[in-house]
Amino acid sequence: MNKIVISFLLTSFAGLSTLIGYFMIFIKGDKEKIITFSLSFSASVMITLSLIDLTYLLAIK
């Protein structure tokens, strides 16, 4: 696959994961616990995808 396509897919996945966490705030009633969970989930997805992208780029070289 093309490097640009893979980078775009990883970025889109990270953005959609953040959006899912953001929408959970409005669906559930206990906002403080949901905000904590969604921010933790978003951060972990972003960090994981960043590491995957870095290791993928290092593996190609």
Can you give the pLDDT at residue 34?
Answer: 72
Q: How does residue 1 score in pLDDT terms, banded at 50, 70 and 90?
A: low
Residue 25 to residue 2: CA distance in whole angstroms: 36
* Per-residue confidence band for 40, with pLDDT thresholds at 50, 70 and 90: confident
Angle formed at CA 6 by CA 2 and CA 38, multiple of 5 degrees: 175
pLDDT in tens, 15-29: 787 777 677 667 766
Query: Among 23-27, 41-45, 48-52, which is the least confidently predicted range?
Result: 23-27
Structure pTM? 0.49
Mean residue pLDDT across the chain: 75
3-state SS assignment for residue 33? helix
Report the distance separating Cα 34 and Cα 43, nearest Å.
14
Contact 56, 1 (CB under 8 A): no
Domain positions in the chain are 3-56
